[in-house]
Structure 1
Amino acid sequence: MSDIAGIGFGRIAAMLPVKDIHKAHDFYAEIFGFRKVFENGNPVGFMILKRDRAELHLTLQPTHRNPSFNVAHLMVDDVDALFALCRRHEVRIIKKLQDKDYGLRAFVFADPDGNRIDVGQPIPVARG
């Protein structure tokens, strides 16, 4: 551990493989309010989206097959409101909203490419 004691770690962002990068952009921008801050390639093969402290990196992978596991975990301030937003936009829900025994209220949705995003919010601890 002493070998890394002086090394500070910065941000780390989820890399999401997508078949259609513009469709993925529209999904995250229109429903969740992400904005594009960078793109690269002609045609575009890589894009960075940001919202508040969250960052997603989209990579064009035309042969992408959706995974059967969560590829990212997103912490939010109001998980109930985000779940309701997903329902209004008919986003595919993989796991319904529920309180978890590990202290989060959470649900899992899938984007148009089948990338599963686990969304959570800490459950307030009751003071007695």
Structure 2
Amino acid sequence: MRLTSFYPVICTSRIDETRAFYTDLFGFEVTFEADWYVSLRRPGPPAHELALLDHTHPTLPEAYRFPVRGLLLNIEVEDVDAEWERLVERGGLTPQLSLRSEDFGQRHFIVADPSGVLVDVITPIEPSAAFAEQFTDG
């Protein structure tokens, strides 16, 4: 199989607020918009895609028409400290996890979007010796 695209679709009751979160704070652009679906793309390279879907829309099987729960999106950036300042200190977002360095090789913090999706903003760092052996080549 040759993939031509792969992206998450967030099922939400808060399409407008969630669209604004990703466009205003993370640089995504709207490529399609209806009252029940928004397609977002962050120009690249590489380009990144994300979509938002009204969780009550009949395109979803009825048994699955619920808002998103338990989703964590990782966004890797060059300078997580600068993003902490921009998004939390100046931007007023409430951290769900404060900025910190992890032995497993990440400096990161977590915020939540209006739909309750956690957004983990990460800069990779050197892992501790205990974790370095667990990484594979590639």
TM-score scaled to structure 2, two decimals?
0.70
Q: Is residue 70–residue 118 contact of structure 1 (8 Å, CA) maintained in 2?
A: no
Length, aligned pairs only:
115
Give the 4+ runs in structure 1 shifted more than 4 A. 62-66
Residues 44-87 of structure 1: CA deviation (Å, up to 9, x unaligned) = 211111223332111112685563x4422111122112221211
Indicate the residue corresponding to 1:49 in structure 2.
40
Write 1 or 2 for the structure with the bigger share of strand. Answer: 1
Map 1:59-70 → 2, pairs under 5 A: 59-61=53-55, 64=66, 67=69, 69-70=70-71
Percent identity over paired residues: 28
Gaps of 5+ in 2: 57-64, 128-138
Distance 2:75 2:4 in 1: 17
Matches within 5 A, 1:1-128: 7-40=1-34, 44-51=35-42, 52=44, 53-61=47-55, 64=66, 67=69, 69-87=70-88, 88-123=90-125
Equivalent residues of 1:14, 1:71 under 8 A apart = no
Residue ranges of structure 1 left out of the alignment (5+ in a row): 1-6
